[in-house]
Amino acid sequence: MASPTNPGTRPRQPSLAQLRAFVAVAEHLHFREAAAEIGMSQPALSGAVSALEEALGVQLLERTTRKVLLSPAGERVAARARGVLEAVGDLMEEAEAARAPFTGVLRLGVIPTVAPYLLPTVLRLVHDRYPDLELQVHEEQTGSLLDGLQQGRLDLLLLAVPLGAPTVAELPLFDEDFVLVAPKDHWLGGRGDIPREALKDMDLLLLDEGHCLRDQALDICREAGRDEGAPVTTSAAGLSTLVQLVAGGLGVTLLPRTALRVETARNDQLTTGYFADPAPSRRVALAMRAGAARQDEFEEFAGALREAMKGLPVRIVE
């Protein structure tokens, strides 16, 4: 029987080879068969199991001339040892996936004013071009996404920029114009040369605090000369609700071009108008941690997305 570990000495750590040998014996309850399974000589196998007993300070096997049995401690250790070997196998698979680009998990964070309109293109690209990539999508506001990126909860973001975060690298995808959405029969409906100054005195509906689209719209209004104290009705958590409020005659709003078809196509109580050049716009980009281990992969992904998005009403940033 193995002797207990001396309390005054540091216990030796079992090796993976010892664990594999013991698990093989626990499976077969036969040294010769276990040795054949893992490609080890029988004396080496017996020595590895004895060394494991010595390292753990417990007897794992009951050996007789006719058969091998697990001791009570051996039954418990065998279950744990199987778990350790499975975890090591998983670790090796993860490392192999990390060495191969576009495999394994990609945790993508997307802002709500981008997700419904661009995700179909993203998902189609991943399905067709990167079938071994497991895409996980998280829809959150910009602040939460940046926290997730910095903490390692997320790998890549799809959102409006600039972010002004020195530890985040941006990979621009495209620029898109904002469009005025107004109630049916509004005097600016159908126009293609709306001056920004027209926003100065309108009843403007925007998203709730925390949405970057709200901040962008307010910046446009300030550029148009709108008084910062002018009232802004804020009563919508998402663009779909915002558009319904416009259809109800409560005011006007600004939508990015990629959202226009989805949000206005089913409502005949809306009209749209386009701004004179240079139209107010936003830039959408991928964002990653500066110096990310998968930087080359993410840059290639950004290039593929630019190609895939050329059919959208946007201006691709090469």
The pLDDT score that the predictor gives to residue 1 is 47
pLDDT band, residue 90 (cuts 50/70/90): confident
Summarize the confidence of residues 89-101 as an average pLDDT.
76
pLDDT band, residue 3 (cuts 50/70/90): very low
Q: Look up tokens 């925007």; give the residue.
A: 206
Topology adopted by domain 106-318: D-Maltodextrin-Binding Protein; domain 2 (3.40.190)
Contacts of 165 (CB under 8 A, 6+ apart): 146
Residue 76 has pLDDT above 80, yes or no: yes
The pLDDT score that the predictor gives to residue 97 is 64
Helix (H), strand (E), coil (C) string for the chain: CCCCCCCCCCCCCCCHHHHHHHHHHHHHCCHHHHHHHHCCCHHHHHHHHHHHHHHHCCCCEEECCCCEEECHHHHHHHHHHHHHHHHHHHHHHHHHHHHCCCCEEEEEEECCCCHHHHHHHHHHHHHHHCCCEEEEEEECCHHHHHHHHHHCCCCEEEEEECCCCCCEEEEEEEEEEEEEEEECCCCCCCCCCECHHHHHHCCEEEECCCCHHHHHHHHHHHHCCCCCCCCEEEEECCHHHHHHHHHCCCCEEEEEHHHHHHHHCCCCCEEEEEECCCCCEEEEEEEEECCCCCHHHHHHHHHHHHHHHHHCCCEECC
Topology adopted by domain 16-99: Arc Repressor Mutant, subunit A (1.10.10)
Q: How far apart are the first and last CA of the chain?
A: 71
> How does pLDDT run across 130-157, given as a tens digit for each residue?
999 999 999 999 999 999 999 889 999 9
> How does pLDDT run across 145-188, given as a tens digit for each residue?
999 999 889 999 999 998 888 999 999 999 999 999 999 999 98
Mean pLDDT in the chain?
87
In the chain, what are the domain boundaries?
A: 16-99, 106-318
Summarize the confidence of residues 244-249 as an average pLDDT.
91
pLDDT band, residue 98 (cuts 50/70/90): low
The pLDDT score that the predictor gives to residue 289 is 93
Residue 127 has pLDDT above 90, yes or no: yes
